[in-house]
Homo-oligomer: A and B are copies of this chain.
Amino acid sequence: MSYSAGERIELQRQRILKAAKRCFIAHGFHAAAISDIAAEAGISQGLIYRYFENKRAIILAIIEMQLVENRENLDRLQASTDFVAALGQAYGLWAKGDPELWHAGLHGEIAAESLRDPIVADALRRSEQQNRQALMAWFHRRDAEMGRRTSDEDAQLRAALMSCIVEGLAIRAVREPDLPPEILRAMLERMMPLVLGD
C-alpha cells in the first residue's frame, strides 16, 4: 500500500496528535514537553515543529480533531439508537479513562487552558457552535424520519441539553465509577426524553 505525499503528511500529523493526547493525559498540558510528545510519537522534535509551531497549535488541532470525531459519531447514530443503553455502556469506558473517547482529564486540561488563553477559548467556542449545528441537523433529520417537525429553537435547546448531559455523565463516570447501574439507567431514562423529545 502506498500513500501520496499529502496522505503521508496527514498520517504523520495524526500520529503526533495522538501522541500529544496521550502525553497530556499522562502528564498534564503544561508538564508535557514537546520532547515527550516526540518520544511518544517516535519521531524527532524538529519534525514536530514542522507540523506544529507550539503546544497551543497542538491543542487547537486536538479541539478540531474532537469536532471531526463528534461528527463521525453522529453519522453512525440511527433514529432508533438506544441512547440509554449506549450511554450506559460509554459510562464504563469513560470511567476507565479510555483515551479514544471523551476523556475527563484531557477535556479538563483543555478547559483549564481555555481559561488561561483567549485563543484557545475562542477555538473552543467556535467548535461548540459547529458541534451545536451538527447536533441540530441530526435532531431535524431524526424527527423528520419519525414524521415530526422540530423548530430550530427546540433543536438548539435539545442539542445544548445533550452536550450538558453527556459531559456531566463523563465527569460522573470518573468521580464515581461504581455508580450502581440501576441508578445510571434510571437517570438516563429520565433525562433522554428531554433530549430526544420522544
A25: nearest chain-B partner, CB-CB: B112
Considering residues A25, A27, A108, A171, which has the most beta carbons from chain B within 10 angstroms of its beta carbon?
A108
Q: How many copies does the complex hold?
A: 2
Stretch of A5-13, A141-149, A159-167 lying at the B interface: A159-167
In the complex, chain B residues whose CB is within 8 Å of the CB of A41: none
Given A28-B31, A164-B169, A190-B194, verify A177-B125 contact (CB < 8 Å): yes
Is B183 a contact of A111 with CB atoms below 8 Å? no
A150-198 CB contacts (< 8 Å) to partner B: 156-157, 160-161, 163-169, 171-172, 174-179, 183-184, 186-187, 190-191, 194
CB-defined contacts of A115 to chain B, threshold 8 Å: 25, 97, 103-105, 174
Interface size class of A (residues with CB under 8 A): 35 or more
Q: Contact check: which of B31, B105, B176 meets A31 at CB < 8 Å? A: B31
A194 to B190, CA, bound (A): 7
- Any chain B CB within 8 A of the CB of A68? no
CB of A174 within 8 A of CB of B111, answer yes
Q: A29-B28, A164-B169 are in contact. Are A175 and B112 (CB under 8 A)?
A: no
A134 an interface residue at 8 Å Cβ cutoff?
no
CB pair A112–B111 under 8 Å, yes or no, is: no
Q: Which residues of B contact A194 (CB under 8 A)?
A: 190-191, 194
